[in-house]
Structure 1
Amino acid sequence: MTVNNINKRNGSTTKLDRFQKLQAKVTNDPWDTESWTNLLTEAQQKGNPTVIRETYEQFLKQFPTSHRHWISYINYELKQKAYERVESLFKRCLHTVPNVELWKNYLNYVKKTHSGNAISEEKKAEARHVIGEAYDYVLQHIGTDKNSGSIWQDYLYFIRNSEVNSTFEEQKKMILLRKTYHKVLIIPLANIEQIWKEYDSFENNINKLAAKNFISDRSPSYMLARQSFCELKNMLDNIEKVQKNYLAQPPSWSEKDYKMLDVWKEYIKWEKNNPLKLKEDLMLKRVTYAYKQALLTLRYFPEIWYDYAIYMSESGKTEDSIFILKTASEVLPTSLLINFALAEAHEAKLKTPAESSPSFVHPKLIYDNLIKNLTNEIGKIDAKYNTKKTRLLALVSTMNSPNSNDAMDNDNDEQERQNERIKEKEKEIKEIEKEHNEKVRELKQRLGLAWIVFMRFTRRSEGLKAARIVFSKARKSKYCVHQVFVASALMEYQMTKQSVIAGRIFELGMKVFASPNGVTDDDKSEEAQKFIAEYLDWLISLNDDNNSRALFERALSILPNNNANEIWDKFTKYENDFGDLAGLLRVEKRILSSYPNSKLFLYFKNIYK
């Protein structure tokens, strides 16, 4: 049952309208965080458990790293005494959201369900064992966090107060307590001085003579951790200040986005420098935790995922690195950086024993998925902007209709206001078209690069013939860009050392991008000029004078003057470098004829460089 259907049956008219409006807002803009927050509030006010749960699920699908909302959802289920749901939620979020408050909630839940009068005497030992394992589990995952000090202190108290029935058990308890103190006293925590005092007292109560050696051994690490805490706190407080209440979303590359990226990179660099002088495995654990913390906020920043994967690879954790890239590719399915890195990591396994491992994914599948995702993304943008444009065009048509104008025939002021409104809508349509074209152009370039890299991989792994098949698929795409043709042509020439096939590909590209009837707008003429410039560079590199001159003439007959400047520049340089004076003067005359108001020196300024 959908949320809307539930509302129709249960909600009041006013609240139903508000809830539906908020749902429409988040559907239209899934990254509208304010509307999402209001939607959750509205769902909670309805009081319908199904509506509340479904809204939380929708929210956390969109913002899966928001610890605040996982905690809120879990607390709601606790109030409902839906303990199976609570445990299911913990399973879903703990490993992906390394946040101290969330893990504290988990620990408190385990302690609450395994203590109190409900536990029989026979099962108390078993319950304490479960709680002890929970402490160990929690501290393994978030114990390096500067805010985990209270959990460490609670765990130490838990160990100290555990019951023992023999000298052997007492010795085991003391060993575990000492081992736990040694673990915690190398971590920069707010309460580390208090824990140190407790440790000092602990050792002295056992054996004052031995205590001096133990304390002397641990003192340098403790002092370093204590000194580092202030520096660490300042960095993390600054991060929290920059990203306060921020929900992870794709960057718009605003000033705030750059600032968040910078402060997190600064902190990660600090951890990599190992200021605590830890052993390699412990340092690796801290750096890994820093990356995981950063990704709670910078989930959609490819640079952080990539840096994390490279760090793990350089640390000898190749499979971990590949797993990070795989996870990143699921979060960022259209990222070139992530998918190229993942494909290259698996390409390195080709024709090795690792190719037969269960985790191996053929790079071809990665490239196929990337191309499919980019193509679908362009389709989504087309559909979104076409819907907006259609709605506005219908509105303008209605405003221009005779029935609309009849009512204003005798009211000139109202007619003027109507005309202004029409102009505003027409301006909005142009802005939508411009925004749409910019987004599609950028995605087409990324798609083109994906095809090119796929083609090059195929040539490396399967040979030139297989690469031709990839090119054949690419050129049939309605979103194909001229760079794909250029890359294929140059690949053919470099691999075969013959110009025939490369020339055919360039000529095929002329039909696609620079046919006389195909250059119909500025975008197409701009791409035609860029493609022809690449074609000319190749012909000139071959010293093919006849075909170079022929292409100059074809280009200038096809391209409009406002998008032919690069061709004229190449033509003048070509005549100056390889022609004669008469030819150079003819080009000068033609430029003046084509651009009567231009300054000729602008076309010759690069000739003598």
Structure 2
Amino acid sequence: MSATPEIAKNGSTGFIRPTKRQIRPEEDVEGRLRDVIEERPGDICTYLELVKLLQSRDQQEEARSVFEQLHERFPLFSPLWTVEVGYDLERDEFSHAGSLLTRCLSGALENNDLGLWFMYLDFVRRKNNLITGGEEARGVVLKAFDAVATKCASWEPRSSAFWNEYLSFLEHWKPVSKWEEQQRIDLTRSLYKRMLCIPFDGLERSWNKYTQWEQEVNSLTARKFIGELSANYMKARSLYREWNNITKGIKRVLPSRLSQCSKQTIPQPGEYQVEQIHLWMDWIKWELQNKLDLPDEFHSQRVDYVYKQAIQHLLFAPEIWYNYSMYASSEKARDILIQGLKASPGSTTLTFKLSEHFEVQNEVEQMQNCFERCIDHLVLEYHIMSDDGQDTYSQRQKITFVYCIYMNAMKRVSGLSSARKIFGKCRKLKDLLTHEIYIENAYLEFHNNNDHKTACKVLELGLKYFSSSGEYVNKYLDFLILINQDGLIKPLFESSLDRIVNLDELQRIYKKVINYESKFGNLTNAYSIENRFFEKFPQLEKIEVFTDRYQVQNANLIKSLELTYLPGDDDFKFGSVNGTNGGLKRSRGLSQSGDSAAQKRHKSQDFVPENVLDLLRLLPKRQYFKTAVLDAEKLTRYLTENVNIPSSESSTAT
């Protein structure tokens, strides 16, 4: 068991990525594809490129072996089964196609996708020829149609192709007796009654076809049968229109042949559109309302179907897997999370949720394996990113984050000594992990041992590696303030002033200590530090620091209750976390009234053109940026002083 694999211990120089492990000749396409698969095991398109290559060489067993790798990693991704079954049917490989269909359409991890069920129907119809098999073969095919309708088509809003195919099969039945003719009529009427109560895309056309059919069968009974079905049809039509409005813009294109597989039709690892997640979740919420008034069993099947459909298109979106597991029963939830982690082994969301399942069941070793597989994958990604020259800080933070949760989980299940072992591993990875592991361990030691000495030793150890990090020093100060270690606060503050490079973080440190002295020390010390602060940052306005000093429970009440025209915390961020950004000057020429900032923003929207508002809606939210990307005050001053914008009159005259 290894959450600290050799590639992590050896550092970047000890890691050789699979695609660069050996120099392959240009003609060794297969070898290069296999290297890419080893390096990026979630890249489905690369697997399928290898399948195409092997099939072109008529290496069928090798191609099937690659498909097996895909099915093992993505057992609920139906297009992979559909593509392989379709290929087998093209080659008349009925035995292998049948075994594949049995595996994917039954069992604990059964797929439920209409494209795959169409392959099943094709298989059944080809195995049961109506000309040679007669009535017995027709009975088998009808059972197959009924199975597809029950398990899939009844839940699928875009199932008109199936219902038309089912009707066409009955219409092409040539009865040889009156009994068979009546049987065909009864089956057709039963099918219409079934399908016209379901909200699906061809509902109105099917209704028109049905009413015409009833008239042709018997004009005397037509009104009776149509009247009995009319209310359910109207409800289904209304619900389909409602569903169509809710899911407008949802993408549901899936390949059914190998030639259709591409990056446009196959989900890519780590890539998904947030708006698509919202659309799918809106659909699921709509289904949970049970507007069809289905019995609990059928309603559960319908919702389960929608979740499985969401997986087809958002295979690498952890939120879908998580929500699906929360909807399912406890036993099934574990399997769902395991499959989700096969698709996204580096997902912290799924790792933490699955580890909770194991922890509750007291399966400690399984819980440990869950964390360590995630860490191993993240470390592999880190080294690949480092090898490519990418910024790896966020990846290092993610690895550290998993270690923090792992350490806390081990404390819960096995005690403090087990947590300390995890922290011991982390100390050996000081070049890989970020400062959060030291902060987390310090709090863990303090809260579980009620002894600040060990915690402070941990933080001092971290200070050796992160003495220039303003964020670390700020968190260190927070801890010392929490445990009331006044004698340690000032030495840490003084020793950090010349080390911190980030001026925003340095401002936060100053203001934190000023506030501390103002609340728990004396004003003389607060004034002294404040004077040094303004010597360092003369551009800051003193009233900003003053109001900040009188915060109560982290709320700047002077601003919110009296000086309401001053920019609040929502308008300005101090550094990358809290407070006001004194580095940005404010304009007082807007209004001296007591209107709130929210009211002013609301009023100002009337003066902003709609095109500008549309652009602003598309821009990323400010919380995604840790530091200011653009100094608005400097930009405004530059435009005012250096850019001559012609007036409308002058441009007209010209």
Question: Does the pair score TM above 0.5?
Answer: yes
CA distance in 2, matches of 1:134, 1:381: 46
Aligned to 2:523: 581
Correspondence list, 1:150-189, <5 A: 150-155=161-166, 161=173, 179-189=190-200
Aligned to 2:417: 469
CA distance in 1, matches of 2:176, 2:335: 44
Aligned to 2:236: 225
Task: Kindly indicate whether residue 333 of structure 2 is the aligned counterpart of residue 291 of structure 1.
Answer: no
Aligned to 1:251: 270
Letter in 1 for 2:144: A
Between stretches 51-60 and 132-141, larger displacement belongs to 51-60
The equivalent position to 1:305 in structure 2, one of 321, 342, 345, is 321
Aligned to 2:597: none
CA distance in 2, matches of 1:210, 1:118: 37
What displacement does 1:100 show? 1.8
What displacement does 1:85 show? 1.8
Aligned to 2:59: 48
Residues 17-60 of structure 1 show CA distances to partners (whole Å, capped at 9, x for unaligned) of 44444444454445666655654444444343345444545566
Residues 284-331 of structure 1 show CA distances to partners (whole Å, capped at 9, x for unaligned) of 43332222111111122121223333345xxxx555555544543444
220 and 345 in structure 1: CA distance in 2 versus 1, 3 angstrom threshold: farther
Aligned to 1:266: 282
Aligned to 2:456: 507
Higher helix share: 1
State the secondary structure of the residue aligned to 1:584: helix
Residues 342-362 of structure 1 show CA distances to partners (whole Å, capped at 9, x for unaligned) of 555677xx6xxxxxxxxxx43
Aligned to 1:99: 113
State the secondary structure of the residue aligned to 1:239: coil
Letter in 1 for 2:270: P
Letter in 2 for 1:145: E
CA distance in 2, matches of 1:190, 1:550: 70
State the secondary structure of the residue aligned to 1:476: helix
Aligned to 2:501: 562
Letter in 1 for 2:304: T
Between stretches 173-182 and 277-286, larger displacement belongs to 173-182
Task: Kindly indicate whether residue 438 of structure 2 is the aligned counterpart of residue 482 of structure 1.
Answer: yes
Task: Kindly indicate whether residue 80 of structure 2 is the aligned counterpart of residue 78 of structure 1.
Answer: no
The equivalent position to 2:126 in structure 1, one of 98, 108, 112, is 112
What displacement does 1:574 show? 1.6
CA distance in 2, matches of 1:19, 1:326: 30
What displacement does 1:439 show? 0.9
Aligned to 1:328: 340
State the secondary structure of the residue aligned to 2:92: coil
Aligned residues of 1:182 and 1:218 also touching (Cα < 8 A): yes
Aligned residues of 1:568 and 1:591 also touching (Cα < 8 A): yes
Residues paired across the two proteins, number = 501
Aligned residues of 1:261 and 1:298 also touching (Cα < 8 A): yes
State the secondary structure of the residue aligned to 1:98: coil
572 and 489 in structure 1: CA distance in 2 versus 1, 3 angstrom threshold: same
Aligned residues of 1:43 and 1:51 also touching (Cα < 8 A): yes
The equivalent position to 1:337 in structure 2, one of 320, 345, 349, is 349
Letter in 1 for 2:123: Y
What displacement does 1:588 show? 3.9
Correspondence list, 1:347-426, <5 A: 361-362=361-362, 364-365=364-365, 367-385=367-385, 388=387
CA distance in 2, matches of 1:295, 1:537: 47
CA distance in 2, matches of 1:41, 1:21: 14
What displacement does 1:186 show? 1.3
What displacement does 1:250 show? 3.5
Aligned residues of 2:518 and 2:526 also touching (Cα < 8 A): yes
Residues 167-218 of structure 1 show CA distances to partners (whole Å, capped at 9, x for unaligned) of 8x99988776655443322112344345446655777799888765554332
What displacement does 1:587 show? 2.7
Letter in 2 for 1:571: V
CA distance in 2, matches of 1:322, 1:30: 22
Give the gaps of 5 or more residues in structure 1: 1-12, 351-360, 390-430, 459-465, 494-500, 541-546
State the secondary structure of the residue aligned to 1:561: coil
CA distance in 1, matches of 2:494, 2:377: 35
Aligned to 1:549: 487
CA distance in 2, matches of 1:184, 1:511: 71
